[in-house]
Structure 1
Amino acid sequence: MRIAVAKEVEVGERRVALVPDTVGRLVKQGLEVWVEAGAGEQAFFSDDAYKAAGATIVSDTGALWREADVLLKVNPPKEHEIHQLKEGGVLIGFLNPLGNPNLIQRLAERRVTAFSMELIPRTSRAQSMDALSSQAGVAGYKAVLIAAAAVPKFFPMLTTAAGTIAPAKVFIMGAGVAGLQAIATARRLGAIVEAFDIRPAVKEEVQSLGAKFIEVQLNEETVAAGGYAKEVSEASKQRTQEVLTEHVKQADVVITTAQVPGRKAPILVTEEMVAQMKPGAVIVDLAAEQGGNCACTEPGKDVQRNGVTIIGPINLPASMPVHASQMYAKNVLTLVQYLIKESALQLNFEDDIISSTCVSNNGEILNQRVRDGLTQVKINA
C-alpha cells in the first residue's frame, strides 16, 4: 500500500502531514511512502531527511495524487486537486466537513474514502489521534506570545530600583485546549490570569494552572457531544456578557478562544465592552477565522478601537511549523496505523473512531451533520 504526503498549497500554510520520523515508522511496517518534493521545506524538514527515513521523493504532483492509495494532507484539497485524487482512494486531513459540506459531496462523487481529522472523538482511546486538540494547543501558546509582544507593559511583576511594576492582567475566554495552554503560558510569563468558560466542569483545570475561574450561572446545558462547548441561548449570552464586562474592562490582555464546530463563532466581546477597555489593552481573537469572538475583529488584521488593539490571527499553528507538524504527524500516524492492518485498509463502522471520522465512503456521505449541511446550502441557494 502506498501512502503519499502532498505539499500544501494554501497561502501561509507551512505545516506538513508527516515528518521524517513518522515516515520511518510507516516504512518499517512495510508500507511504501511517497513524499512530494519540497513538502516539508517550510517546516524545515528536507527532502534528504525524508529519503533517509525511507521515503520516495516525487516531483510529479499529478502522479503522486493519482497513484496514492492513501493521501495525507493538512488542509482540505482544492478543486483542481480533487480531480487528481485516485478514484476509490483514501484522503486524510482537516476537511472542514461542517463548514464546507460541498467538498465532502465532491469527494463522495469521486468515491473517495475521506477521514476528517476535526471529527476524531474526544475519548481517551482516540487521544493520540486528536489533531484538533494538538493544533489548538499550539494556537493557545502562540496567542499569548503575540499578546505579550503587542501590549505596552511587562507581563510579570518586577521589583526595580525605579519602583515596583505591577503584573499584567490577562483574561482568557474559553478554557478548551487552546485556552488552557494560553493560561499556562501567561502564568509562566508572570501575569495574573482569570479565565471563563460556559462549561463549569473545566473550573478545576483552570484553577490547577494558577488562574481564577470566573463563574456565570446559566440555566441550560452548555456541553455538546464530545465535550465541546455548546451554543447557548440569547438570554444566556446576554447574562454572560453582563458578568464578563467588568473583567474585560480591567484586563490588559483578553484572549478569546470560543468556537462552535461548523457555526459562526459566538460574540463574547461587544463593541461596547471594547469601548470600556483601558487604552493600550490588547485582544487576541483565536476565533477570527469563524467570524471572531470580538465584534471588532477583522480576520488576518490588527484593528485599533479607542486605543485598544484587536488582533485576528489566521492559522496560528502554521506559524510554528516544526512542532505543529511533529504533533499533527503523530496524530495522523496513529490514525493510519489504526486503519491499516497487514497493508490493507480495514474499516469497521461499528468502531466509534472510524464511524465518527469517516465522512465519505463508497460514493456515500456518511456523516448526518454533513448531509444536513448540504440540505441547508440547497435551501439557501
Structure 2
Amino acid sequence: MRIAVLKERASGEERVAATPETVKKFIALGADLAIEAGAGSGASISDQAFVDAGASVGSAADACKDADIVLGIQAPDPVLLAGAKPGAWVAATFDPFRNGDLVQSYAKQGLEALSMEFMPRITRAQSMDVLSSQSNLAGYKAVIASADAYGRAFPMMMTAAGTVQAAKVFVMGVGVAGLQAIATAKRLGAQVSATDVRSATKEQIQSLGAKPIFVESVEGIEGEGSGGYATEMSEEYQKAQAELVSEHIAKQDIVITTALIPGRDAPRLISDAQIASMKDGSVIFDLAVSQGGNVEGSRPDTPVQKHGVTIIGFSNTAGHLAADASALFARNLYNFLSAFWDTEAGKPVLDEEIGDAVRLTQGGKIVNERLLG
C-alpha cells in the first residue's frame, strides 16, 4: 500500500496533507509513504523531517508512481496523478458543487475521488471532519486579524491617564468558526455578542460569556438544517433579522461574519447601508468571502475601505495558520483511513455509510447522489 502526498499547487496554499506524526502512524499500519520534495515547507516541515519519520522524498512523479492513495489539502490536478495505479483513491477537499469539471476529470481518468467536505456529521466521523478542524482555526484567525486591523486595544484598561474601553465584537453565525471567534474575542477581553438563525445556539453563546442577539418577534423558526448547518430563512425572518442587526451593528467595533451553506453562495448579511452606520475605524472580517461573501463589497485577500470601515477576509483563512492547520488536517485524514484499515487486506475498506457519503467518482463515473440529484 503506497500513499503519496504532493506539494499543494493552489496560490497561497501553505498547508500539507501529512506530517511526520501521521507518516509514522501510516507506516505502523504497513503503508509506504512517498512525499514530494518541499511539500511541507509552508507548514515548517522539512524534507528531512519526513525522511526521519520513514517516508521517501522525491519529485511529484516519483511520489505518485504506483500510488494506491494520494492525500491532499485541495484536490490536485489529475494530470499530476498520471503515474498512480488505476482506480487510486484521492482523499482531499474538492469543493465538488463548484468544481464539476474537476470531478468529471477524475471520473474520466478512472480515479476514485473522496471528498473530505462530504464527511457526514455523525459522532463516529467527528475526528475525520476537516471542515470542523479548519473552521476552528479560521474562527481564531479571524479575531486575531481583526484585532491587528482595528488599531485599538481589545480589553478594558484602567490607567492613571484614564480608561480604555473594551472593544465591542459581534459574531454573526455560531457554528464551529463562530464559537471559536467568540471564545477568542472573550479571551482577549472584548465585550462580545453573537447571533445565529438557529435558536439552539443561544445557550452556546451564553456558555461562552457572550450576549445572544436573537430575533424574538418571529416565532416558529428554528433554522436548523441537516448536518447541523443553518438553512436559508423565510423573507419574514430575514427582514426581522436585518432590522435587529442594523440597530446592533451600528454600535460595534468589530463584526465577524461566518455564515456558509455548503454548495451555495454565501448569504448576504451586511449591506452597504449597514456598513455606513458603523463608526469610523471599525473592522469587519468576512469569513465567507471566498464563496461570494456575507458582506457587500468584500474581496478575498484585499482589504476594502468603505465609509471609514475596514473590510477584510482571506480566501484561505485556516491556511494562514499552516502548521497547526496541517497537523489537524493530516490527523483527520489518518483518522479517516485508519478507521477502515483492514489488516489482512493491507488497505482501508470503506463502509457504506461513510464511503458512499464521501465518494464522488468510481469506475469511470460520478457516483455521489448529491451530485447526481
- Fold shared per TM-score above 0.5: yes
Q: Is the contact between residue 249 and residue 278 of structure 1 (CA under 8 Å) also seen in structure 2?
A: yes
Give the total of aligned pairs. Answer: 369
Match of 1:41 in 2: 41
What does residue 340 of structure 2 align with?
Answer: 339
Per the TM alignment, residue 164 of structure 1 is displaced from its structure 2 partner at its CA by 1.1
Q: Deviations over 1:335-381 (max 9, x none)?
A: 111233121231322xx222211122222322222124xxxxxxxxx
Distance in 2 (alpha carbons) for counterparts of 1:179 and 1:92 = 27
Q: How far is the alpha carbon of 1:83 from its aligned partner?
A: 4.9
Instruction: Give the partner amino acid of 2:357.
Output: S
Does structure 2 retain, via aligned residues, the 8 Å contact 1:196–1:214?
Answer: yes
CA distance in 1, matches of 2:371, 2:271: 31
Residues 302-342 of structure 1, C-alpha deviations (whole Å, 9 max, x = no match): 01111011112120111111111111111000011123312
Q: CA RMSD in A?
A: 1.5
1:76–1:94 contact (8 Å) kept in structure 2: yes
In structure 2, what residue type is equivalent to 1:346?
V
Q: Could you report, residue by residue, the CA deviation over 1:164-195 in whole angstroms, capped at 9, with x for unpaired residues? A: 11100000000001000000000000000000
Hey, what does 1:178 align to over in structure 2? 177
| Distance (whole Å) between structure 2 residues aligned to residue 207 and residue 367 of structure 1 | 39
* Contact map agreement 1:36 1:58 (CA 8 A) in 2: yes
Name 1:6's counterpart in structure 2: 6
Give deviations 1:51-73, integer Å, cap 9, x for gaps. 111111122x1232342100000
**Structure 1 equivalent of residue 240 of structure 2:** 239
Structure 1 portions without partners, runs of 5+: 373-381
* 1:223 counterpart residue number: 224
1:266-324 CA distance string (max 9 Å, x none) = 00001110011111100000000001100121122101111011112120111111111
Distance in 2 between the 1:101 and 1:238 partners? 34
The offset of 1:82, in angstroms, is: 5.4
Please tell me the residue identity of whatever aligns with 2:27. V
Partner residue in 2 for 1:15: 15
Output the CA distance in 1 between the equivalents of 2:235 and 2:85: 46
Structure 2: 5+ residue stretches without partners: none
Give how far 1:48 is off. 1.1
Q: Which range is displaced more, 19-28 or 357-366? A: 357-366
Give the whole-Å Cα distance in 1 for the aligned partners of 2:301 and 2:250. 24
Could you tell me whether the CA contact under 8 Å between 2:178 and 2:258 is conserved in 1?
Answer: yes
What residue number does 2:351 align with? 348
Q: Is the 8 A contact 1:291 1:299 kept in 2?
A: no
Letter paired with 2:119: I
User: Which residue identity lines up with residue 342 of structure 2 in the other structure?
Assistant: K
TM-superposed deviation, 1:79: 5.3
Q: Which residue of 2 aligns with 1:288?
A: 289
Aligned to 2:61: 62
Partner of 1:190: 189
Q: 1:221 to 1:368 in 2, by over 3 A?
A: farther
* Secondary structure in structure 1 of the residue aligned to 2:200: helix
- Could you say what secondary structure the match of 1:9 adopts? coil
- Output one character per residue of 1:136-190: Cα deviation in whole Å (capped at 9) or x when no partner: 0111001101111111321000000111111000000000010000000000000
- 8 Å Cα contact 1:101-1:371 kept in structure 2: no
Report the alpha carbon displacement of residue 101 of structure 1 after superposing the two structures with TM: 2.2
- 1:118-157 to 2 correspondences below 5 Å: 118-157=117-156
Once the two structures are TM-superposed, the CA of residue 216 in structure 1 deviates from its matched residue by 1.7
In the alignment, is the contact (CA less than 8 A) between 1:196 and 1:213 conserved in 2?
Answer: yes
Question: What residue identity is the alignment partner of 1:159?
Answer: M
For the 8 Å contact 2:38–2:46, the answer to whether it is kept is yes
